[in-house]
Chains A and B, each alone.
Chain A
């Protein structure tokens, strides 16, 4: 069994899980929801083993390092954290249907990684040879994943809110009946960001600590640093919006979506379109 095969199984599991969630959304049969989440958990397990295996394989090759060193490995890890955060949310709050709006993100990541990126294990360049890599990447991506889940929930919020307004609750029997009430969605959005924001803060701080340790400056307004701060500003605005009149509900949902768009740009856009210190993330 190789990590590569397991990653393919993971991708397939996330695809099946997503399709089951869609059918569950349309058909409302409880068993489908259970099947969808079970397949997602199976995929998460396979992916966990695969990441561990890839780690070991790198040691077997004599270039041992945590599998967090290039674009392929980070996309795979991002996908793993998204499903992990969703699983935790599901265990705690049991709003299964959210999976239909979260699993696509995880699938997209895995599919892109497996089909479009260079999957080879490479030795670490000198700049990445540090334990800070582990702390920095793990905190950042757990934060990103929580924002991905919040974005999925916000999309649900906007769909549901639009529907409620136009149909005056006559459609309770349709797909909308499966959606949690908008108040619950608003609360879940807040809770997901409440998890993501401290993690992003830790991610920025560990990044600053590493930069200070390796280069002697904890902040140099490198595009990646600046974009992470932009993301931080957006979610700080989101958190303050909740105690401001006129910013709750729809606007908060939009802030969450904009925040995730900024997150994705911070993660991928900066490497693809801008130049800077994090250029190792650029895929071939």
Chain B
């Protein structure tokens, strides 16, 4: 038995110190500062799939180390999530520890202005009056009701005590801020469990009913989406002004009336059945046309390149189009007409990228000569067939996150700018003693307390004159 008792006390001690550990503000400080410092890592090291150039710039050992530590996806690594969980446990524990005391102040206020309470208050004033205590009590009660808040009256130790308070609930605001953090976490969790982020490309005139999620899974939308038209508008300076997709939602192949020819631009997405489509990228998937000939211009062959596909040239090399423009003068002032940037892979495994022009055959020939025996490429233009790239998102947790944010803002505002104010009055031996206390902003309360006492003094003394 003794042994058992010993173990239980030890366990109790352990649980006690564990509880104290989670309730401590030192832990809060440690977690907040650690989170701040650790978060820097992910802003310096690229997250997700790091670009090749970055990986090439650091040593292999570093890459291995970073991978092992989860630095390439650090905000989802177990140790970062653990810190967030610890913070959550910490703020829940802190709230539970302090809430009962605060709750008592709100629900069971001390209504009697005892000597000890009077000592503890920094705002106290006494008004002398020879009126009958019962009459004084009524007068003070009426005054408080009109000037501050309706008082509660109790009789104790042969004295009348009045107690009035304003905004006691604002003491709870801090706990609402803490609660809001948890609500935001819950919203984020719901989003990550039941929502997804994805991407889809749609060609003009075509429709899709499946999208690819970020994790590479094929997801069925449950409806289809057709791209009617895509267009780009430019400012006079050439800077892009607007990327616009005209989309139609199809249910069982039929257009949905309110979602026919819907316009989607950057900053103005389309939402249907909880799934939202955002304008993200675009491109041309139409055919590009070239002619290929020998250096002396003999044996010309027409060549069609489908979108991003690769084609074989007569000499066994292969090429694909990287980018094309209708007017090359945007990039090179002295030149004009259409041009295409292509990548050529020769049979001996060499790759080079260069520009092929429509209006400048001499440049095409010059390039071919510089690189040996040919072939010579000439660009003939492209047929335009635009595709739009849409970001797709479904997040059923987002409303909960906004609820948490709203609660946080309101909570912080109340916590900083509102205060629980209390006034006590004791009427005894011809003296009216007034005491006051505020949970915050003592300076402002002192001023309003002095004003209240001054008004009460005139109120109590003016009746005496007749």
Contacts and interface: CB of A to CB of B under 8 A. Distances in A.
Contacts of A122: 239
Contacts of A219: 188
Contacts of B29: 237, 240-241, 244, 247
Interface stretch (B100-108, B141-149, B217-225, B261-269): B261-269
Contacts of A126: 240-243, 265-267
B32 A216 contact: no
B431 interface: no
A208 B404 CA distance: 13
Interface string B373-412: 0000000000000000001110100100110010011001
Nearest to B75: A221
B10 interface: no
B134 interface: no
B26 interface: yes
Secondary structure type dominating chain A contacts: helix
A248 B280 CA distance: 48
Interface stretch (B1-9, B42-50, B155-163, B343-351): B42-50
Given A221-B42, A234-B36, A237-B33, A215 B391 contact: yes
B281 to A, nearest CB: 12
A233 B269 contact: no
Interface in A207-231: 208-209, 212-219, 221, 223, 226-227, 229-230
A236 interface: yes
Contacts of B239: 122-123, 125
Interface residues of A, number: 43
A218 B398 contact: yes
Given A198-B412, A244-B26, A212 B32 contact: no
Interface residues of B, number: 45
A229 B40 CA distance: 10
Nearest to A221: B75
A130 interface: yes
B42 A202 contact: no
Interface in A124-181: 125-127, 129-130, 132
A189 to B, nearest CB: 14
A229 B409 CA distance: 15
A63 interface: yes
Contacts, number: 108
Contacts of A243: 25
Given A63-B235, A229-B39, A247-B29, A221 B47 contact: yes
A35 B392 CA distance: 58
Interface in B251-297: 265-267, 269, 276, 278, 280
B36 A125 contact: no
Given A126-B242, A230-B39, A244-B26, A216 B391 contact: yes
B79 interface: no
B413 interface: yes
A233 B416 contact: no
B235 A194 contact: no
Given A126-B243, A226-B39, A216 B26 contact: no
A216 B278 contact: yes
A270 interface: yes
A198 B115 CA distance: 40
B274 to A, nearest CB: 12
Given A198-B412, A240-B28, A244-B25, A213 B267 contact: yes
B58 to A, nearest CB: 16
A64 to B, nearest CB: 13
Contacts of B28: 237, 240, 244
B237 interface: yes
Given A126-B242, A230-B40, A247-B29, 11 more contacts: A122-B239, A123-B239, A201-B412, A208-B401, A216-B197, A216-B276, A216-B395, A226-B75, A229-B39, A230-B39, A237-B29
Interface of A: 63, 122-123, 125-127, 129-130, 132, 194, 197-198, 201-202, 205, 208-209, 212-219, 221, 223, 226-227, 229-230, 233-234, 236-237, 240-241, 243-244, 247, 262, 270, 274
17 contacts: A123-B241, A125-B239, A126-B265, A197-B412, A214-B278, A215-B391, A216-B197, A217-B395, A218-B401, A219-B188, A221-B47, A230-B36, A233-B33, A233-B36, A237-B33, A241-B29, A244-B28
